[in-house]
Amino acid sequence: MRISELAVPDAYLIEPDHVDDSRGTFYETIRYSALGEIAGHELVLRQVNYSVSSRNTVRGIHGTALPPGQAKLVTCVRGVALDIAVDMRVGSPTFGKYAVTRQDAEAGTAVYLPDGIGHAFQALTDDTCMSYLCSQEYVPGTMIDIDAFDPELALPWELSGSVIRSGKDVAAPTLAEAADAGLLPGYEECIASYGESYGRHGRVTGASAGR
């Protein structure tokens, strides 16, 4: 597999190599030692989620307060999705910057989003299913919601009809409003949390990311 940093620092694109034969195809979604060597900290799984969405559904932008935080490995396992990562870390050199990844079940592409990186996606087909491997269990009251249509962010959605969103997402503040209200994690706080994860679980060993 190939692991490369996105335009949002500390977030990574994971592209698997497929092995094809007469039966079909096989590929590794993630090798944790490889991600750990590249990211500098380990992803430990505590919860696995799935969402199923109709075409033109937009979910997000979602994040989690620190503590407890919740890093995510996100993959489209059915259908096609336009996936967007947003830097929500106050004080980050790339605060408000975003990175777009087109995901589909056939390719098996994934993105790794550490604490402080918000996540949103648009379902480009009906019955789009997204998988989330999470570093922490869900804690009520710790979710951070940002308006996916924040005009200052100007995220490049590819809508072909009326957008479908939850009431919670529609009512979410802009990134600037959330920052002014003290809802967002700080950049240094997030960087420290990455180091704590790395030290707590020990140095990750194993193959590098296909290099």
What is the three-class DSSP state of 27? coil
One-letter amino acid identity for 181? A
Give Rg (Cα) of the chain: 17
Selected catalytic residue, list 12, 41, 62, 187: 62
Selected catalytic residue, list 12, 27, 112, 132: 132
Q: How many CB atoms lie under 10 A from the CB of residue 131? A: 18
- Please give the backbone phi and psi of residue 64, each rounded to the nearest 5 degrees, phi first: -135, 135
Q: Is 132 a catalytic residue?
A: yes
Residue 110's closest CA among 189, 29, 170?
Answer: 29
Token pair 């590098």 is found at 208
Q: Is 32 a catalytic residue?
A: no
* C-alpha to C-alpha distance for 23 and 51, rounded to whole angstroms: 28
Hey, which residues are catalytic here? 62, 132
